[in-house]
Amino acid sequence: MLKAQDEALSHAFARDISMAVFGRGQSVATAAEIAIACAGLLGVTPAVIDAAGKDMGAKRAVIKAVEEARAVGMNGAPYMILDGEPFWGADRLKQIERRLAAAA
């Protein structure tokens, strides 16, 4: 839902949620907790989050994304594919950064 409306906002949302869960150990199980985790993002309110949770198009998009992740063998996060090579785990991020820097 966010991605369809504002792709940059959806990236910021994903970053803030990831930092909340993996960086600070926060819970994001409720709309209120998600809103707290994304407090710096304009327009991300509990009401917007509740509406997104009830949006069937958004649910279908999540199901499709999970199916695509399974199809490429994703088994955890972070998981990236660079030039056809899969990288899994935060310990691989530096390898990806080096490869991208070398290619630039």
Instruction: Check whether residue 46 and residue 6 sit in a common domain.
Output: yes
Instruction: Check whether residue 92 and residue 62 sit in a common domain.
Output: no
Instruction: Check whether residue 98 and residue 58 sit in a common domain.
Output: no
pTM above 0.85, yes or no: no
Q: For 17-34, what is each residue's pLDDT tens digit?
A: 999 998 899 999 999 999
Q: How confident is the model at residue 101 (pLDDT cuts 50, 70, 90)?
A: very high
Number of domains the chain is built from: 2
Instruction: Check whether residue 12 and residue 55 sit in a common domain.
Output: yes
CA 81 to chain centre: 15
Average pLDDT over residues 68-83: 86
Query: How confident is the prediction for the chain on average, in pLDDT?
Result: 88
Instruction: Check whether residue 20 and residue 61 sit in a common domain.
Output: yes
Coil, strand or helix: which one is 82? strand
Query: Cα-Cα-Cα-Cα dihedral of 99, 69, 45, 39, to 10°?
Result: -30
Average pLDDT over residues 54-77: 88
Phi first, then psi, for residue 11 (nearest 5°) are -70, -45
Closest CA relative to residue 43, chosen from 19, 18, 10? 10
Task: Give residue 95's domain range.
Answer: 75-104
Average pLDDT over residues 29-47: 90
